[in-house]
Structure 1
């Protein structure tokens, strides 16, 4: 396996930390992975290695305000900047793997971002994989409180607070939870603007399933205490033809670190391989390929 790490500067002068895991031979596909809130791309090292073993490259980056990238922890200028960063990463995929089929993959808040990118922007990725997306968060406050938070987001957009987050909600695997708590690059900060924008973006996704025009694999654990698996189910039911929704009984938030991780990986590989086969047979009929 070849593993490269480097920094790139975006159009708004933000330095983002990138890394690429790839096989020694030309890969059959490449995944562009967007991580969740508070974490960073290196937490996916073992997961990326599994894809490399299947001749699939993985490119990921630390989101702004996260990990080794620039920005105040948990702070964004706007949600559109996050969309721009996905575009930036997809261009980087194109540089490294020009003619290789690309899949966009997001987890948690990154999953919500990927779904928003799917319904609001055009790109040439072949399909989308989303795990435990922030469509609706389990910690969503009452609507009257959201009105107050919107005011605070406008007045103090960069003001951030520390969340009361319990790592035990991530996985049944105690070692995963301990490593998360001990990880110096993990943070628990969220700004008013980030929370409000992500909240609104999630409901924007929920209201627009008809705008999904590419193959989507949507994965969620039934016992996720962080994001709402029922919201994922409702969203998937509104999509015609091109969505595969899989629920994992009793699973928590981080499916790639759960007791069912091998089943999750197999489901992803089978879905991805089926799409690659259809593409090779010129059978795909979805938009923007």
Structure 2
């Protein structure tokens, strides 16, 4: 396996930390992976290695305000900047792996971003994989509180507060939770603008299932206490023809770190291989 790390600067002069895992031979596909809020791309190292073993390259980056990338922790200028960063990463994937089928894969907040990108932006990727997406968060405040947060998001958009949640909600695997708590690159900050924009983007997803025109694999644990699996189910039911929704019984938030991770991985590979095979038949 070849593993490269480097920095790239976006059009708005933000330095993003990138890393690529790839097989020694030309890959049959490349995955562009978008991580969740508070974490960073290196938490997916072991997961990426599994894809490389199946001759699939993985490109990921630390989102702005996260990990080794620029930006105040948990702060964004706008949600559209996150969409721009996905465009930037997809372009990089195309530069590195020209003419190789590309798939967009997002987890948690990144899963919501992947769905929003699919709905709002044009791209030539083959399909989208979204795990435990932030469509609706389990910690969503009452509407009256959201009204107050919207005012703050306008007055002090870049002011951030420390969030608190039980890391045991990430996975049944205790080692995963301990490593998360001890990870110096993990943060627990969120700005008013980031929360409000992500909240609104989630409900925007729910209102636009008809805009999904490419294959979508949507995976969620039904015991997820961080994002709402029922919202994923409702959204999937509104998508016509091209969405596959799988719900994992008793699974928590990080399916790639859960007891069912091998089952999850196998399903992703089979889904991806079926799309690649179908594309070859069309050609």
TM-score band w.r.t. shorter chain: over 0.9
- In 2, Cα distance between equivalents of 1:179 and 1:61: 20
Matched, 1:262 2:246: no
SS in 2 for 1:20: strand
- In 2, Cα distance between equivalents of 1:4 and 1:282: 34
Q: CA deviation at 1:221?
A: 0.1
2:232 equivalent in structure 1 = 232
RMSD: 0.5
1:50 equivalent in structure 2 = 50
SS in 2 for 1:281: helix
Q: CA deviation at 1:80?
A: 0.2
Q: CA deviation at 1:61?
A: 0.1
2:78 equivalent in structure 1 = 78
Q: How does 1:194-233 map to 2 (within 5 A)?
A: 194-233=194-233
1:113 equivalent in structure 2 = 113
1:6 equivalent in structure 2 = 6
SS in 1 for 2:282: coil
| Structure 1: segments with no counterpart, 5+ residues | 284-289
Spell out structure 1 runs of 4+ moving beyond 3 A. Answer: none
SS in 2 for 1:68: coil
Q: How does 1:1-289 map to 2 (within 5 A)?
A: 1-282=1-282
- In 1, Cα distance between equivalents of 2:161 and 2:249: 33
Q: CA deviation at 1:133?
A: 0.0
Q: CA deviation at 1:165?
A: 1.7
- In 1, Cα distance between equivalents of 2:280 and 2:4: 29
Equivalences, count = 283
- In 1, Cα distance between equivalents of 2:72 and 2:2: 31
- In 2, Cα distance between equivalents of 1:164 and 1:183: 16
- In 2, Cα distance between equivalents of 1:166 and 1:250: 17
Q: CA deviation at 1:246?
A: 0.3
SS in 1 for 2:104: strand
TM-score, L = length of structure 1:
0.98
SS in 1 for 2:252: coil
Provide Cα deviations, 1:166-225, integer angstroms capped at 9, x if missing partner. 110000000000000000000000000000000000000001000000000000000000
Q: CA deviation at 1:34?
A: 0.1
- In 1, Cα distance between equivalents of 2:167 and 2:59: 26
- In 2, Cα distance between equivalents of 1:166 and 1:92: 36
Provide Cα deviations, 1:132-169, integer angstroms capped at 9, x if missing partner. 00000000000111000000000000000000121100
1:286 equivalent in structure 2 = none
Provide Cα deviations, 1:48-85, integer angstroms capped at 9, x if missing partner. 00000000000000000000000000000000000000
- In 1, Cα distance between equivalents of 2:135 and 2:43: 22
